[in-house]
Amino acid sequence: MRQMREHSFNSLGPGGFHRVHYYEWGDPQNPRVVLCVHGLTRNGRDFDLLAGNLSDRFRVICPDVIGRGNSGWLSDKEHYGYPQYCADMAALIARSGAQSVDWVGTSMGGIIGMLMASHAGTPVRRLVINDVGAFIPKAALERIKAYVGKHVTFDSFDEAETYVRFVSAGFGPLTDDQWRHLTETSVIADDNGHYVLKYDPSLSHAFSGPISDVDLWHVWESLSCPTLLIRGGESDLLLAQTVEEMMRRGPRTRVIEFPGVGHAPMLMSDDQIRPVREFLLAED
């Protein structure tokens, strides 16, 4: 059951309905469901290798968050934000029929996971948070602001791959095949034969105002589910001192750090996939 399947559904927001696309791996009747949610400008195909590895024991669902990948774009750009993302993920969980889910979230996907897990009656059973935490420093957000939403076109696929490698250097030492996969799933050819990024440039609206530190300690301290916190050893978004403080506050948490990686580990190599699999298979 390692073959990927694609689906979509219509979800409701303040501006009307919009289409949410997602990828599914494993036995569709398996009650053990893992939801893998990507970072700010990425998409659900980032998890192909992780999902394939987990699919012998889990049904794995990897959505393209609205405005990214093959999902639709919002007509009212003001609504790109966590309330809409959480509403879409709640609709996806309901559509899956799962009574509970395990959550793997990278960066933005980790924040969505924390928010979902913080609510009373949450379906989130176990939580993997990849390189994001209860405090996000202003400097990291300014770095992200510098490239998000820039309308760039590429004359060739190789030029697009060069760009993806540059803006995603923090992903660490990936193989050529892995960089190519990330590029193939991140760009699309336009009508003129050029390549463009597969996300709505208006996602940058969230960065239109003054940038400041983000404090999510109230969310973190409300969590109670078993949690695995992953950090890239050179991350500028999840600082080492933040991890230390998170260990003292909030849910019972296991921490793993990958040296030589910034923001964020892509969970594509065996050494990064293995601890995620072991954590998800562990008994409470």
Q: Name every residue whose Cβ is closer than 8 Å to that of residue 281 and which is 6 or more positions away in sequence.
A: 57
Does the residue 152 lie in any domain?
no
Q: How many angstroms separate the CA atoms of 150 and 47, rounded?
A: 25
In a domain, 17, yes or no: yes
pLDDT above 60: residue 283: yes
Give yes or no for residue 205 having a pLDDT over 90.
no
Instruction: Confirm whether 219 is domain-assigned.
Output: yes
CATH code for the domain of 85: 3.40.50.1820
What is the full DSSP assignment across 51-115? HHHHTTTSEEEEEE-TTBTTS---SSGGG-SHHHHHHHHHHHHHHHT-S-EEEEEETHHHHHHHH
> 3-class DSSP state for residue 132?
coil
Residue 284 binned pLDDT confidence (cut-offs 50, 70, 90): low
Q: Which two tokens stand for residue 223?
A: 């969590």
Residue 261 contacts residue 171 (beta carbons within 8 Å) = yes
Residue 224 domain flag: yes
Confidence of residue 149 (pLDDT cuts 50, 70, 90): confident
What is the domain count for the chain?
A: 1
Q: What is the mean pLDDT of the chain?
A: 96
Range of the domain at 265: 5-134+213-281
pTM over 0.85: yes
> Does residue 157 sit within a domain?
no
Is 161 domain-assigned? no
- The answer to whether residue 273 is domain-embedded is yes
Does some domain include residue 222?
Answer: yes
